[in-house]
Amino acid sequence: MNKKIQLQDLGSKDYKSTWEYQEELFKDIVDLKIKNRREELELETPNYLLFVEHPHVYTLGKSGDLENLLLNEKQLEAKGATFYKINRGGDITYHGPGQIVGYPILDLENFFTDIHKYLRFLEESIILTLEEYGLKCGRSEGETGVWLDVGTPFARKICALGVRASRWVTMHGFALNVNVDLGYFDNIIPCGIRGKGVTSLQVELGVEKVDEDEVKAKIIKHLTQLFEAEFV
């Protein structure tokens, strides 16, 4: 089992080209797995974690409701944002500058074959990271992602999650609001959930700017421990 994860920080990159790149890596892993089974080989499948920051974009998961996007084409254009319907789970979300997006493209057969556990581990890596900043976060029953003040009228989401998996290979992932302009969330019903707020690390800490590289390093540290992996 290959427990090495290749880390690639793509910097700021357009959503569509990143999605295509994810699909490419995903397909290569799936094809290798099929070849292994067909030819009775034991070639190691690679694992990746892509970090990226997207220009303003709204994405709608395959089970999502288009009505949760509150802008028409002209208004999207005016806000310098794009929109894509995509093949992950979940409803609508926003990605933009100041947000850390992580796309793990893993062959879970290198780790464990349990999608539920996989999602919980992604959430846990964020919960543990935010704890290092003194924030007490948790999960909201029936709603993926990471939340503050769960079960109160002040519940607010700080990290969204949406994944796709086939043949135990994953793609898409998490989006953690660090220094993001939260105003862009006003144009959607985030994840299709009404009446709950969205927040960022910057807002919660009451600082001008959070060091995003430092946050990424903490996330990697916790993913390393949770997945018993080595980042290369």
| Contact criterion met (CB below 8 Å) for 9 and 217 | no
How many other CB atoms are found less than 10 A from the CB of residue 41? Answer: 9
Show Cβ contacts of residue 231 under 8 Å, excluding neighbours closer than 6 positions. Answer: 4, 5, 6, 7, 49, 220, 223, 224
Exposure string of 131-156, with b = 16+ CB inside 10 Å and e = fewer, is eeeebebebbeebbbbbbbbeeeebb
137 is catalytic: no
Show Cβ contacts of residue 66 under 8 Å, excluding neighbours closer than 6 positions. Answer: 60
Q: Which of 50, 159, 191, 201 is catalytic?
A: 191
For residues 185 and 158, what is the distance between their CA atoms, to the nearest angstrom?
A: 12
Residue 136 CA to its chain's centroid (Å) = 20
Per DSSP, the three-state class of 170 is: strand
Q: Which residues are catalytic?
A: 191
